[in-house]
Amino acid sequence: MLQITPLHPLFAARVTGLDLRTPLAPELRARIEAAMDAYAVLVFPDQALDDAQQVAFGQAFGELEPDPSVVGDDKRRVGHAAMNDISNLDSAGRILAADDRRRFNNLGNLLWHSDSSFKATPAKYSMLHARVIPPHGGETEFADMRAAWDALPREMQAKLFDLVCEHSLIYSRATMGFTAFTPEELARRTPVPQRLVRRHAGSGRLLLYLSAHIGEIRGWPRPEALALVRDLMEHATQRQFVYRHPWRQHDLVVWDNRCTMHRARPYEDKLYPRDLRRVTLRDSAPTLEQPR
Ligand code: OGA
Ligand code: MN
């Protein structure tokens, strides 16, 4: 029997009593979607999925994002084209060297972000599965962007309501001092516009659509824009808005990128393997084209 147990006063819940390796019945999918709309982050413990099963579970909810890697390997470690390799391993399964550019790029996940906010049509759900976890550290934190919006003063909400931000992976990586993109990578990652204030289709609630990928606010001088974004980031990631997930092997965590941010926490990534794999669902349209 499906059981939903809240993990935090504002959002996030644990879901038990189902086996995600088998095809998902439509009524079960509808219950998970309803729980996603309410909680935005769902933890499914003890799901020993392989790549094909994880992909099939994702496909039950809609269209998967193709072409996951940006700073890639010539050879992919993970077999499925729609699967994102969230690990510190190379294609031979070895821990990435301290000076490997893929490692530097991966360190960008330590910044609060929403997945694929740098794509014209960003991500809806991300589904991250733990295959191998390190002995300590490496948690993932989530922040509730609907609660963060609700807690803003009215005057601030009015000031933000119609702002449009420019997002690019290049911006977030530059924040981390990583600028070693090839000309092709630069050309593929030109900034895309996204609304700063969105309405969440699943719950009807307004939210702050923040991400480390923001590098500009349309029509604003950059220092003024970045000062505001930094301030909003601080507001939105106060502890009362944050759920921290300590991983156990075979956890599947599904989050709604439309109304949460997340970040990785550090671990000894030069010593221990951490092998997580992600399947990502596309949102319906660019945020400027979505109803509000
Ligand atoms: C991701 C991500 C954080 C982590 O998979 O999109 O940001 O803790 N992961 O690995
Ligand atoms: Mn991410």
> What CATH number is given to the structural domain containing 158?
3.60.130.10
Average pLDDT over residues 272-288: 97
Domain hosting residue 179, numbered range: 3-289
How many structural domains are present in the chain? 1
How many percent of the chain have pLDDT more than 70?
97
* 172 φ, ψ (degrees, to nearest 5): -65, -40
Residue nearest to atom 2 of ligand 1 (CA): 109
Read off the tokens for 84. Answer: 């994102």
Q: Which residue has the tokens 């931000």?
A: 165
How far is it, in rounded angstroms, from Cα 87 to Cα 97?
Answer: 13
For the record, the structure tokens of 36 come out as: 């996603």
What is the model's pLDDT at position 73?
A: 61
The pair of three-digit structure tokens given for residue 246, joined into one six-digit string:
């300590």
Query: Is residue 70 over pLDDT 60?
Result: no
Count of C-beta atoms within a 10 Å radius of residue 28: 14
For the record, the structure tokens of 134 come out as 């390190």
Question: Is the CB of residue 278 below 6 angstroms from any atom belonging to ligand 1?
Answer: yes
Q: What is the per-residue pLDDT for 261?
A: 98
If you take atom 8 of ligand 1, which residue's CA is the nearest one? 264
For the segment 185-244, what is each residue's pLDDT rounded down to a tens digit?
Answer: 899 899 999 999 999 999 999 999 999 999 999 999 999 999 999 999 999 999 999 999
Q: How far apart are CA 146 and CA 142, in angstroms?
A: 12
The pLDDT of residue 67: 63
211 lines ligand 1 (CB under 6 A): no
Per-residue model confidence (pLDDT) at position 77 = 85
String of DSSP letters for the chain: --EEEE-SSSS-EEEES--TTSPPPHHHHHHHHHHHHHHSEEEE-S----HHHHHHHHHTTSPBP----SS--SS-SSS-TTEEEEESB-TTSPBPPTT-HHHHHHHGGGS-B-TTTTSSS-EEEEEEEEEE--SS---EEEEEHHHHHHTS-HHHHHHHTT-EEEE-HHHHHHHTT-----HHHHHHT--EEEESEEE-TTT--EEE---TTEEEETTS-HHHHHHHHHHHHHHHTSGGGEEEE---TT-EEEEETTTEEEEEPP--TTTS--EEEEEEEE-SS-GGGS--
Average pLDDT score over residue span 94-105: 94
Best residue among 129, 262, 265, 267 to mutate for probing ligand 1's pocket (most ligand atoms within 8 Å of CB) is: 262
The residue whose CB lies within 8 Å of the most ligand 1 atoms, and thus the one to mutate among 103, 117, 128, 257, is 128
Give the pLDDT confidence score for residue 32 in this predicted structure.
Answer: 98
User: What are the tokens at 6?
Assistant: 């809240």
Confidence band for 181, pLDDT divided at 50, 70 and 90: confident
Residue whose CB lies within 8 A of the most ligand 1 atoms, among 70, 83, 109, 127, for a mutation test: 109
Chain centroid offset of residue 143 CA: 11
What is the whole-number distance in angstroms between the Cα of residue 244 and the centre of ligand 2? 14
Atom of ligand 1 nearest to the CA of 276: 10
Question: Which atom of ligand 1 lies at the shortest distance from residue 280's CA?
Answer: 6
Number of CB atoms found within 10 A of residue 82's CB: 20
